Amino acid sequence: MKLVIVESPTKMKTITNFLDKNFKVAASYGHIRDLPKSRLGIDVNNNFEPQYIIPMKARKTVSQLKKLASKADEVLLATDPDREGEAIAYHLTEALKLDDQSYQRIVFHEITKSAILEALQNPQKINFDLVNAQQARRILDRLVGYELSPLLWKKVLKGLSAGRVQSPALRLIVEREKERNNFQPQIYYSLNGIFSPLKKEKIEIKAELFKINDHLLKQLDLKDKEEGEKIKADIVRGENKILTIQEKPIKRQPLPPFTTSTLQQTAYQLFKFSAKKTMTLAQLLYEGKNIDNKMTGLITYMRTDSFNISPLALSAAYEFIKKQFGPQYTLEKPRIFKSRSRLAQEAHEAIRPTDPFNAPEKIKPFLSPDEFKLYQLIWSRFIASQMPEAIFSQKNLVIETKSNQNYFFKNTSSTLLFDGFLKVYPFLKFEENLLPANLKEGLPLRIKKINLEEHSTQPPSRFNDASLIKTLEKYGIGRPSTYAPIISILLERGYVSRDQNKSFFPNEIGIIVNDLLVKHFPNIVDYQFTSQLEEDLDLIAQGKKQWQKVIKDFYFPFKEQITKKETELEKETIAPITRLEEKCPKCGKNLVSRLGRYGRFLACEDWPNCPYTKSINQEISIPCPLCKKGQVVIKRSKRGKQFYACSEWPNCQFASFNEPLAENCPICQSYLVKTKKKIKCSNKDCSYERPL
């Protein structure tokens, strides 16, 4: 009997389908060895030797695997094809006491029968360069967390922590918020008009002013309303004609298949899936779903930074496209995408369906609604990447108005000539904007209407899942497996919260921690320094750097700085306590405003001897729609998500994630709430809604 060990029970069930009775498949349920939680677990004086233990929750699993391994002729370690998976395989050999002769490592990027059988034909040994890279990351993160966190407990607030890659991400969010707070909006104006050919009033051409004489207008060129009105009056007096009409074909290329970061970004943009939710759904699709009573892996491995596609997958995509849509939708040769990252692991594949013939609608009954959305996105993106470009006919029309000055208006319209890849990728939105027929250069026009529109410059947007991941990738902070955990940790620590649009903003505690790190530990939050460490980890994975030296070069200067700051920093200057005139209702001493993990709270100055505390919540000046006695206040959940509740809680149980309004529904008289795009009735059985 051969024992195959994977990480998850779902993966175990899927692989069992492909193997005969000579194989037994078992699951390790993730890592079975780790550093201890109660102490550092790293011998910094002995070349940073890690002191691994088997956690309590894994001991029963290890015992069961040992029994199975003792009966097996050979153990096959089939963990995931990345550094984390390689490390789990290594820890299995240690915990199960497997020597080089008693195990083989098999690697596959999709859980299909052909991939499993091919992996069995090509067994290998553990890649210790990958193990060392994962081990180095784990040790670096442990050293930062276990050395820096106690300093934060002493100088800021007990229970805080700082992470090596989370801290630069926090800095991005804090600096963006400061940029927004310091933003000074500017007013500017634009002009657009509606033109008609003479004696043809029903024909309308909408166009925007883009040039005056030889000067191309920029966004902020027209800042004065009075000047705008003068230009408008001058235009109205002018003579108008079509100056030029130019038509040309425009080709739109399909996007490459997904990597981890682009999948997370696109899933957020289209479905508002958090990075964590996207990866959870992708894991389920990768490990396998029950399709017609058979466990089937639907996508390839979802942690990757490569655009590479296997020749077999390209051939299968070609056959599907030819059969489903006809030869005009196929390519003469496959379209190959090259990664922009010089450190991308080209041995990996992009995220794609394991079988193009598993079209989304075909397997929809076997998926949850969210699984279907993500699978359809992955499937469509891959198939579209191997189809011809879409072709549009684009018309550029310029209208000239002669008055005291020469004014030029433009209109750009487009018509779809050939849909190409858009036939299967419905997520790229486009609108055909048709110009009236029979327009010719030199055709005289009259002005039906001229609009002077006021605009205001907007502050930079807060980061959301998509834009934060894109920026982290741009700076080289983190890797495909770390983007979702970075965001989750910042939310769980209470350093950041989400606003109504699901974008991130820093809480006071997050700002204080960030400012302390920026001032006193600049390397920890320096984008370039963090990126260089990531490159060092990649070089370790390639066997080009020695992991202990990378850690040594980082740790000893860092430790020296920790020791220095322990004596220099004063808690009162970092997180000051504000004394108030109010009196404690329990003991009569003064109240103070203290900083807590989820914001400021009122407490007795004799706290914790006097236990009185009260949360400070922001009111929105609306009576509670449930009890009518309290006020609606903004609160935050333990995960940092903002919600609305009654100030009389727990006597009143009112709570809502949507902002309540001091207005009742005209249909059922329930209170109204405001969402991102509309105002609607809070009563789920009532259909009333209106745009914002």
Residue with the two structure tokens 């190959």: 336
Q: What does 460-481 look like in DSSP terms, one character per residue?
A: PPPP-HHHHHHHHHHHT-S-TT
What is d(CA 470, CA 637) in angstroms, rounded to the nearest whole number?
A: 27
**Angle at alpha carbon of residue 684, lines to 678 and 688, rounded to 5°:** 45
Phi, psi of 241, rounded to the nearest 5 degrees = -155, 160
Phi, psi of 31, rounded to the nearest 5 degrees = -70, 140
What is d(CA 616, CA 591) in angstroms, rounded to the nearest whole number?
A: 13
Nearest to 408 by CA among 236, 240, 576, 158: 240
Q: Residues in the chain, how many? A: 692
Nearest to 375 by CA among 464, 255, 278: 278
- Strands 2-6 and 74-77 come out as parallel
Buried b (16+ CB within 10 A) or exposed e, 389-402: bbebeebebbbbbe
Q: Are 172 and 453 in contact (CB under 8 A)?
A: no
Active-site entry in 90, 103, 301, 671 = 301
How would you classify residue 148: left for phi > 0, otherwise alpha for psi between -120 and 50, otherwise beta? alpha
Q: Please state the three-class secondary structure of 121-165 as a single string.
A: HCCECCCHHHHHHHHHHHHHHHHHHHHHHHHHHHHCCCCCCCCCC
Phi, psi of 691, rounded to the nearest 5 degrees = -70, 155
Whether residue 608 has a cis bond before it, omega within 30° of 0? yes
Catalytic status, residue 301? yes
Sequence-distant (6+) residues with CB within 8 A of 591 are: 580, 582, 583, 584, 602, 603, 604, 605, 612
Q: Are 326 and 245 in contact (CB under 8 A)?
A: no
Phi, psi of 396, rounded to the nearest 5 degrees = -110, 115
Phi, psi of 61, rounded to the nearest 5 degrees = -65, -45
**Angle at alpha carbon of residue 366, lines to 365 and 372, rounded to 5°:** 80
Q: Are 10 and 287 in contact (CB under 8 A)?
A: yes
Q: Are 207 and 213 in contact (CB under 8 A)?
A: no
What is d(CA 478, CA 165) in angstroms, rounded to the nearest whole number?
A: 6
What is d(CA 163, CA 581) in angstroms, rounded to the nearest whole number?
A: 38
What is d(CA 537, CA 594) in angstroms, rounded to the nearest whole number?
A: 41
Nearest to 285 by CA among 302, 270, 269, 268: 302
Positions marked catalytic: 301
